[in-house]
Chains A and B, each alone.
Chain A
Amino acid sequence: MNVVFYCYGGAHTSVTAANIYLGRLPIRRRASYHEILSQPGFDVAPHAQVGRLLPMGVDPFGNRVFCIGLGAGRLRLAAALAQWCAILGATDTQLALCNALVAANWAMRIGGFLSRRCGWVLLGRPLVTLGTWVAFPHMSRMVTHARACLIRPGQPQDPWLRPGVDAPAAVTDNRLEPEPMARAGFWGDCHSPDLRARTEDDHGQGATAHHTGGYPE
């Protein structure tokens, strides 16, 4: 299963939701300002990364977790992408799309816009972090619901509910494997020549022939 959290820019809301989902942020309490600010991938993706899948890690069930920003028309685009994946042969057990922006507030939207779109990081980053702190309980509830929807029948227990694993310090203990996420290029370890060949500034491409070379494990 591939779990994809999507929001507007793929830099704050979906990243925070994915990190809560993966256990890097606490789900039973409100994360601190510093925890939110220091989570991997937060306020990192530039605007050119909108529309790109950002790998966040693997959950205890082996599901791969991704973030993506889909812009203003995210609902219609997500529906179209789901149909596109169905045409490509994906089944319901292979892909789950989760709208993370339902948990966002105006501080996150304005701060994210200032930081990512305008480049005013000094002004935007504290604002979006504060907004994330305010919206954190809502995001935790959303992720809890997403987890409940993704648990498959017959699984013995929910590994997230084990005591002590829902804190950032427990990332290495609960066998999660965070992927390397450098500021320059999330696909640094990608083995697909198709993805590696593409640069961040390829907006000028028109007809592009994509061919699957398999996804890196």
Chain B
Amino acid sequence: MLVVYHCSCPLKSRLAAGIHAGRLPPQLPGRREVHAAVAQLAADSETAMDLIRGLPGLHVAGHDSAGAMVLAMGTGAPAWLTAQALGDFQVLLGARWPVLSCRLRDLPGFVQVLADLLAARPIARGRRLRAVLLSWVLRKAWLEAAAVAARARGLAAAGAGADGTPAVDTVAEMQ
């Protein structure tokens, strides 16, 4: 099974995928732990600058306890658009495995602008400021990502997607 988290923010999608894969704790940690999570996300990416520049493309976060491959996709596009494109390409090509597509709620506008600004070189140049801003973004997104990841883990363990039936709307529950 494939579990893919998608959101406009690459940080948030990687955060949810990391929680699902068991690499990050589901509870909101303290500031130091969030700093450590930022470092871990950076270490998971190809280079640390990939994290700052917006993490283009698809990221494989690992496998969960049930053996499902967990992916994260955050491209800056709205989550509903990404969800439609993912589904249509999956049908077009014919996937060999069932797919659980988990849509995260897009970040508020000003947070997204801040996350985008992190990609700019003048701001990204200062390491301390960058870490503080990234940690703030992650703290804003942590609880929702953890809730969606917990629900997706349950759905994945129950074999959702194997029969083609749509899963429950996790975003609506969060709202």
Contact A85 B93 (CB under 8 A): yes
Cβ of B124 < 8 Å from any Cβ of A? no
Main secondary structure of the interface of B (DSSP, over half): mixed
Cβ of A121 < 8 Å from any Cβ of B? no
- A sample of 17 cross-chain residue pairs with beta-carbon separation below 8 angstroms, ordered by A number, consists of A2-B93, A51-B80, A52-B84, A53-B89, A73-B77, A77-B85, A84-B71, A84-B86, A85-B93, A88-B93, A198-B87, A205-B83, A207-B160, A209-B155, A210-B91, A210-B98, A210-B164
Contact A83 B91 (CB under 8 A): no
* Complex: chain A residue closest to B159, CB-CB: A209
Contact A209 B100 (CB under 8 A): yes
Select the stretch in A89-97, A98-106, A128-136, A151-159 that faces chain B: A89-97
Contact B81 A70 (CB under 8 A): yes
* Complex: chain A residue closest to B1, CB-CB: A209
Contact B88 A53 (CB under 8 A): yes
- Take A80-B58, A87-B71, A194-B164 as given contacts and tell me if A213 and B93 are in contact as well, using a CB distance cutoff of 8 Å: no
5 nearest CB pairs, A to B:
A209-B161, A51-B84, A211-B164, A206-B171, A73-B76
Chain B contributes a number of interface residues (CB within 8 A of A) equal to 54
Contact B103 A77 (CB under 8 A): no
Interface residues on A, range: 35 or more
* Complex: chain B residue closest to A86, CB-CB: B58
Cβ of A162 < 8 Å from any Cβ of B? no
Contact B91 A212 (CB under 8 A): yes
Contact B101 A51 (CB under 8 A): no
A87 to B95 alpha-carbon distance, docked (Å): 9
